[in-house]
């Protein structure tokens, strides 16, 4: 069985334990397996603030690692949750960027996943030439900072 089929089979095995009806499609792009799920029971899979969907991704990555013997990166999208999440993050980023521009003070955003931080970094880079974004801290304490480019990025900060 090839990786794509293994990803689909293992995903469906997990989904069948969580929800009754769903459709599942899997595609590969740039080393990531994109898993698109459609279901009437989306909140069960997404969870509060996306906690369940992130946990499912981690669990699936562990299962797939054990099955294929190498790291397999997956991104689960349920009922276009990722697109809606991206739109929400772009609105949030615009609000923070406007505040930084007005006050000329750095703003920190906490409690973001690495996926969410990456979306914000890309959005700031593409839409705000006078601003910079970077991450500070470790683990659950990791924060994204939006600041004026002229202030620079402090030592030890990263753009993930």
Instruction: Please give the sequence-ordered ranges of beta strands (E in DSSP) within the chain, or none if there are none.
Output: 23-29, 32-38, 73-78, 107-109, 131-136, 143-148
- Pair type for strands 73-78 and 32-38: parallel
Task: Summarize pLDDT for 89-121 with one digit per residue, the tens.
Answer: 999 999 999 999 999 999 999 988 888 999 999
**What integer pLDDT is reported at residue 139 of this predicted model?**
83
When the candidates are 3.40.50.2300, 3.40.50.920, 3.30.300.20, 3.20.20.140, the CATH number that belongs to 3-79 is 3.30.300.20
- Taking the C-alpha atoms of residue 63 and residue 33, their distance in angstroms, rounded to an integer, is 14
When the candidates are 3.20.10.10, 3.30.1370.50, 3.10.420.10, 3.10.20.30, the CATH number that belongs to 84-151 is 3.30.1370.50
The partner residues of 37 in beta bridges, in order of sequence, read: 24, 78
**What integer pLDDT is reported at residue 127 of this predicted model?**
97
Region of 110 on the Ramachandran plot (φ > 0 left; ψ -120 to 50 alpha; else beta): beta
- Taking the C-alpha atoms of residue 63 and residue 150, their distance in angstroms, rounded to an integer, is 45
- pTM of this prediction? 0.76
Structural domain boundaries of the chain? Answer: 3-79, 84-151
Task: Summarize pLDDT for 9-37 with one digit per residue, the tens.
Answer: 999 999 999 999 999 999 999 888 999 99
Instruction: Decide if 50 contacts 81 (C-beta within 8 A).
Output: yes
């Amino acid at each position: 069985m090839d990786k794509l089929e293994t990803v689909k089979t293992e995903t469906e095995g997990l989904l069948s334990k969580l929800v009754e009806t769903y459709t599942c499609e899997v595609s590969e792009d740039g080393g990531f397996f994109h898993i698109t799920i459609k279901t009437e029971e989306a909140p069960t899979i997404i969870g509060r603030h996306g906690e369940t969907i992130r946990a499912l991704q981690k669990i699936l990555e562990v299962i797939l690692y054990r099955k294929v013997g190498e790291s397999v990166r997956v991104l689960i999208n349920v009922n276009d949750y990722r697109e809606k999440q991206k739109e929400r993050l772009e609105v949030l980023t615009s609000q923070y960027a406007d505040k930084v521009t007005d006050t000329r003070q750095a703003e920190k955003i906490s409690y973001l996943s690495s996926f969410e931080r990456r979306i914000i970094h890309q959005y700031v880079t593409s839409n705000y030439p006078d601003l910079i974004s970077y991450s500070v801290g470790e683990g659950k304490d990791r924060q994204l900072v939006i600041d004026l480019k002229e202030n620079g990025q402090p030592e030890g900060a990263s753009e993930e």
